[in-house]
Chain A
Amino acid sequence: MAFRLKLVPDETKFDFFRYQVYTFGLSAVLMVLSVIVLLTMGLNFGIDFRGGTTIRTESTTAFDIGEYRSALDGIEGIGDVSITEVFDPTFGEDRHVAQIRIGSVEDTEAMTPEQISDVETALKEVDPNVTFAAVESVGPKVSGELIKTAVYAVLAASVGILLYIWMRFEWQFAIGGVVAIIHDVLLTMGIFAALQLRFDLSTIAALLTILGYSINDTVVVFDRLRENLIKYKTLPLIEVMNLSVNETLSRTVMTAVTTAIALTAMLVLGGDVIRGFVFAMLWGVIVGTYSSVYVAKNIVLWLGVNRDFSKPDPDALPEQFRESP
């Protein structure tokens, strides 16, 4: 017998609906909490969405944020400045990175080259070793549009997925799938607001991936459910659902673990530039897996399913196909 690593036993008979009041309640509470956090704390929008300038500085010597700040205070015509030091396990002893964010003041334009070079000279004065690894500037006119397209993208993707599931399954499944998506997106935005992680264009890409991943997971369960509904015509819906989730459980766990392994590698070793993005995806994999097991099905259960979809409605058939009485 060969050794096999199995996180899930061959046959499981978990009753996924036993605690449905709690699991669904937890989801509902987390969704409400996310909305509250989003409304009260708000998202920490990056310059993509808020306009402004970010400058990433690198220095071989340790620097003092206060010194940087006072160096920039004197410059005219720039907005409010926030400076954060970036720490990363992959940085060596002689690498000190800061992220400087300057709010936008002009109406439509990105920062002028003069302003940027003023900032650079001022920083060079307090820290001669400083280099500028990246300078990015977005005008407020564009940033507003970027938010709009981002929201459209998430909406359009949801609608596309809704239509596809509707076509392939039944409308109840489509609603269940989309509620699961909303659940995942909301919870991800909630954690971004709660931890005040930077929310920018890459985060939107991450959100859309979460959406794809979560629905992928949900569809695999749905697919099995559809199959079992035809196989076990008399079994109550709730039991067919339990059976289907149990049957697909080892696959769900397996895929979640492989994806999590890959993303964790990226989170730890992929560098700080992309960390927020990878964090969003990792969180999304966890939430997405949870939602396909605990959210999507509950909705379908509540809505009920037409169990007879294997057998067409006799009245809808043309004359010659009707069974003679």
Chain B
Amino acid sequence: MLDIPLWKRVLILGVVVIGLVWAMPNLFYSRVEAHNDALAAAESAGFVTDEQQAAIDRWPGWLPSGLVNLGLDLRGGAHLLAEVHTEDVYKSRMDSLWPELRRTLAAERDTVGAVRRVPGPEDELHVEIGNPDQMARAVEVARALSSPVVSLTGAGQSDMEFSASGNVLTVRLSDAEKSATDDRTIQQSLEIVRRRVDEVGTREPTIQRQGEDRILIQVPGIGSAAELKELIGTTAQLTFNPVIQSGSDPDGRPGLGNIILPAQEQPNYYYTVEEAPVVTGEELTDATPGFDQNGQPAVNFRFNPSGARKFGAYTAANIGQPFAIVLDGEVISAPVIRDAITTGSGQISGAMDVAGSTQLAVLLRAGALPAELTFLEERTIGPELGQDSIDAGKIASIVAIIGVVAYVVASYGVFGVFASVAVMINVILILAFMSAIGATLTLPGIAGIVLTIGTAVDANVIIYERIREELRRGKRVVTSIDTGFREAMSAIIDANVTTFIAGLVMFFLGSGPVKGFAVTLTIGLASSVFTAIYLTRLMIVFWLERRKPKQLVL
């Protein structure tokens, strides 16, 4: 056990050196952070400003620049847990199916009779037909509208279920289709939330799916959860609809296929518009804040080719007519079409300030959320509180290290020094590994490191106590050390594996603070086994080779 080949020595010391180098950026946290931020900003912008160049130059590019990611409780920021109302999508699916079903059934009017939609649950489509005895035919015709489910688990099933009772035909989504739809809804919401948060350019937000229908959003550095909610929660459903008339009466009869919408900026002013939009926000490719010809803040937008074609055709055919730009059920503006707009680009102007136009551009670019979100959990942690916690954690860790080192050195002398060096390198390795994988350090995580400082000595203690026993039996120094290490192995492994199990459970079942703690605990376990067994042994071997002690007091 005690003749360690050269390659192993190099390997052990190599790991330590790499650990030191990887952990080092954390000593210069703000400088490295500025360097990283400037690099990222320059890369996404495609050019470098002088200021950014200065920030980049303050940290040499050939050094590692990974940092321990500070959790919200240390840095300050906002945390939201949102629930996605996936069933919203069922309703819109049913609503969009109705015109198609009506058209299909109308073609069979001679056999099934008149068709009428009757009220039912939101996620079902109830249709009354004139000739109930021809229901079988109606179901058959309707069934042609369904298609197979596109998902792994639901393969082979149809996306819609049809049933009939009396003269009412009921259509609902099949369970397989519902779960496939739910999945798509969450993915889409996740993507849109991510784009919206990314647009405002904060640092390293965490946006994750959690469980069946939840999204976890953590954004460091943002002022409050309310601010974040406002950014994420807005639906931003943009449509362009033909205007029928406008006035101050909200209760008039809009006529078939029309709806009355309020104007956003003028109180008590309403527009009657056609419900079916000419173009929707989904066909937008770009939206940027800008100014209109009067110097007022506005949003410039551009359509994709098919949107541009539809928009061009409509504007060409309706010159002189007003059309409404509708955002989330409110008319933002209703300009009169002066020319055919065939380029596919246009402008939304209205009473808004620069911040408003910027936010609208963000929302339009990020698309509409497919379903409503409710927020189940929200946390705002002020940056000062986080800084206080870091400071307190630092002082506590330093005092903990000093206390432990003093006690261990008093107990084991020069071997205590070895153990202490191992413990300190252990902490450095934890930080290095966390920087390398971009793990997040939380307040409980700091406590986890402090606990590791305490228990990391344990493996050394087990070994040293074994060596003591051997020495007491009158064995030679080298034999005692050798036996001590060998005999201690199984206890160390068993002890660490059991703690490791607890750590794994915390990581997989836990959330938030539990998870953060589990990460540091598990990394700490692995590195403490390395430092206690390999590093300490190497130090002891170096010592043996130099001193060649005849006797050892332990």
Q: State A144–B264 Cα separation when bound (angstroms).
A: 40
> From residue 215 to 247 of chain A, which have CB atoms closer than 8 A to chain B?
215-217, 219-220, 222-224, 227, 247
B412 close to A (CB within 8 Å): yes
A217 and B458 CA atoms in complex are apart in Å by: 10
B454 interface contact, C-beta 8 A: yes
B400 with A262: CB separation less than 8 A = yes
* Residues of chain B from 376 to 402 with CB closer than 8 A to chain A in the complex: 376-382, 384-385, 388-389, 392-393, 395-397, 399-400
Known: A108-B376, A109-B376, A220-B491. A165 touches B450 (CB 8 A): no
Flag if B457 contacts A149 (CB, 8 Å).
Answer: no
Note all chain B residues with C-beta closer than 8 A to A137: 225, 377-379
Alpha-carbon distance A221/B117, docked complex (angstroms): 75
- Among the listed A138, A142, A209, A270, which residue makes an inter-chain contact with B393, where contact means beta carbons less than 8 Å apart? A270
What 8 pairs across the A-B complex have the smallest Cβ distances?
A: A259-B454, A271-B392, A212-B502, A262-B454, A212-B499, A5-B410, A265-B400, A113-B226
- Residue A1 CB within 8 A of the other chain: yes
- Which of B457, B465, B472 meets A248, CB within 8 Å? B465
Q: Quick one: closest B residue to A140, CB to CB? A: B376
Answer yes or no: B158 CB below 8 A from chain A CBs: no
CB within 8 Å of B: which A190-208 residues: 201-202, 204-205, 208
In the complex, what distance in Å separates the CA atom of A263 from the CA atom of B400? 7
Using C-beta atoms within 8 Å of the partner chain, give the interface range for chain A: 35 or more
A-facing mask of B206-227, CB < 8 A → 1, else 0? Answer: 0000000000000000001110
Contact between chains at B380 and A135 (CB < 8 Å) = yes
Q: How far is the CA of A58 from the CA of B381 in the complex (A)?
A: 13
| B408 CB within 8 Å of chain A | yes
Residues of A within 8 A of B404 (CB): 258, 261-262
B30 within 8 A of A: no
B396–A258 CB distance below 8 A: no
* Bound-complex Cα distance A220 to B514 (A): 26
Are A116's CB and B499's CB within 8 A? Answer: no
Q: B510–A4 contact, CB under 8 A?
A: no
Residue B511 is within 8 A (CB to CB) of chain A in the complex? yes
Contacts of A258 in B (CB 8 A): 404, 407-408, 453-455, 457-458, 461
Which A residue sits closest to B515, measured CB to CB? Answer: A205
Assembly CA distance A216 to B517 (angstroms): 18
Q: Does B375 contact A (CB under 8 A)?
A: yes
Whether A139 contacts B377 by the Cβ 8 Å rule is yes
Is there a chain B Cβ closer than 8 Å to A10's Cβ?
A: yes
Give a binary string over B495-535; 1 marks a CB under 8 Å from any A CB, 0 the rest. Answer: 11111011111100111111001100100000000000000
In the bound assembly, the distance between CA atoms of A87 and B62 in angstroms comes to 47
Nearest-CB residue, chain A, relative to B390: A271
Check if B498 sits within 8 Å of A165, measured CB to CB: yes
B259 at the binding interface (Cβ < 8 Å)? no
B490 close to A (CB within 8 Å) = yes
What are 25 A-B residue pairs whose CB atoms fall within 8 Å in the complex? Answer: A4-B553, A58-B384, A110-B375, A117-B226, A132-B380, A134-B381, A135-B379, A137-B379, A139-B375, A202-B517, A208-B514, A209-B451, A209-B517, A215-B499, A216-B495, A217-B495, A258-B407, A261-B403, A262-B400, A262-B454, A270-B392, A273-B73, A277-B447, A281-B447, A281-B451
In the complex, which of the residues B376, B382, B388, B468 contacts A138, with contact meaning CB atoms closer than 8 Å?
B376
B102 beta carbon closer than 8 Å to chain A: no
* Interface check B302, CB cutoff 8 A: no
Q: Quick check: A251 and B462 within 8 Å, CB to CB?
A: yes
Q: Which of A152, A209, A250, A263 contacts B465 (CB 8 A)?
A: A250
Contact B411 A116 (CB under 8 A): no
Q: How far is the CA of A138 from the CA of B380 in the complex (A)?
A: 12
Q: Are B455 and A216 in contact (CB under 8 A)?
A: yes
Q: Is B153 an interface residue (CB 8 A)?
A: no
Confirm or deny: A124 has a beta carbon within 8 angstroms of a beta carbon on chain B.
no
The A/B interface has a contact count, at CB < 8 Å, of 255
In the complex, what residues of B have CB within 8 A of residue A146's CB?
Answer: 511
CB-CB under 8 A from B377, the residues of chain A are 110, 137-139, 142
The complex places the Cα of A164 from the Cα of B503 at a distance, in Å, of 14
CB-based contact A274/B506 at 8 Å:
no
Q: Does the CB pair A251–B465 fall under 8 Å?
A: yes
Contact with B along A153-177 (1 / 0, CB 8 A): 1001100110011001000000000
Q: CB-defined interface of A250-273 with B at 8 Å, one 1/0 digit per residue?
A: 110011011111111110111101
A64 within 8 A of B: no
Of B229, B376, B382, B498, which contacts A212 at CB under 8 A? B498
Which A residues form the contact surface with B (CB < 8 A)? 1-6, 10-11, 56, 58, 90, 108-111, 113, 116-117, 131-139, 141-142, 146, 149-150, 152-153, 156-157, 160-161, 164-165, 168, 201-202, 204-205, 208-209, 211-213, 215-217, 219-220, 222-224, 227, 247-248, 250-251, 254-255, 257-266, 268-271, 273-274, 277-278, 281
Cα A92 to Cα B444 in complex, Å, equals 24
Min CB gap B505→A, angstroms: 4
Taken together as a complex, chains A and B put the C-alpha atoms of A137 and B228 apart, in Å, by 14
Chain A residues, CB < 8 A from B457? 254-255, 258
Question: Which residues does chain A contribute within 8 Å of B379, judged by CB atoms?
Answer: 134-137
Distance in angstroms between the alpha carbons of A211 and B504 in the assembled complex: 13
- Smallest CB-CB separation from A10: which chain B residue? B472
Interface hub of A152, A153, A156, A215 (most chain B Cβ within 10 A) = A153
In the complex, which of the residues A11, A141, A161, A266 has the most CB atoms of chain B within 10 Å of its own CB atom? A266
| A211 CA to B385 CA, complexed, in Å | 30
Asked if B389 and A273 sit within 8 Å, CB to CB, the answer is yes
Given A138-B376, A227-B487, list of 15 further CB < 8 A pairs? Answer: A2-B553, A109-B376, A113-B229, A153-B505, A153-B514, A160-B502, A160-B505, A168-B494, A205-B506, A215-B499, A219-B491, A258-B408, A262-B454, A269-B396, A281-B451
Q: Are A260 and B454 in contact (CB under 8 A)?
A: yes
Chain B residues within an 8 Å CB radius of A205: 444, 506, 510, 513-514, 517-518
Cβ contact within 8 Å between B505 and A157: yes
Residues of A within 8 A of B458 (CB): 216, 251, 255, 258-259
A292 vs chain B, min Cβ distance (A): 11
Chain B residues closer than 8 Å to A160, beta-carbon distance: 501-502, 504-505
Residue-wise interface mask of B (450-488) relative to A, using a CB-CB cutoff of 8 A (1 in contact, 0 not): 110111011001100100110010000000000000010
Measured in the bound complex, the distance between the Cα atoms of B251 and A217 in whole Å is 76
A150 / chain B contacts, CB cutoff of 8 Å:
514
Interface string of B223-237 (1 = CB under 8 A from A): 011100110000000
- The answer to whether A201 and B514 have CB atoms under 8 Å apart is yes
Query: Which residues on the A side are within 8 Å of B511 (C-beta)?
Result: 146, 149, 201
- The answer to whether B499 touches A5 (Cβ under 8 A) is no
Name the one of B224, B378, B447, B461 contacting A266, with C-beta atoms under 8 angstroms: B447
A147 to chain B, nearest CB (A): 12
Residues of A within 8 A of B134 (CB): none
Closest CB in chain A relative to B497 CB, distance in Å? 6
Contact residues in A for B499 (Cβ distance below 8 Å): 212-213, 215-216
In angstroms, Cα B104 to Cα A211, docked, is 65
CA distance A277 to B453 in the complex (A): 17
The reply to whether B382 and A262 contact each other, CB–CB distance below 8 Å, is: no
Q: Is B81 an interface residue (CB 8 A)?
A: yes
Interface residues in B83-103 (C-beta closer than 8 Å to A): 83
Contact A266 B376 (CB under 8 A): no
Task: Assess whether B376 is in contact with A141, with CB atoms less than 8 Å apart.
Answer: yes
Question: Would you call B553 and A274 a contact (CB within 8 A)?
Answer: no
- Chain A CB count within 10 A is highest, among B225, B396, B446, B521, for B396
Q: In the complex, A157 Cα to B503 Cα: how many Å?
A: 8
Expressed in whole angstroms, the Cα–Cα distance for A66 and B493 within the complex equals 56
Inter-chain contact B498/A269, CB cutoff 8 Å: no
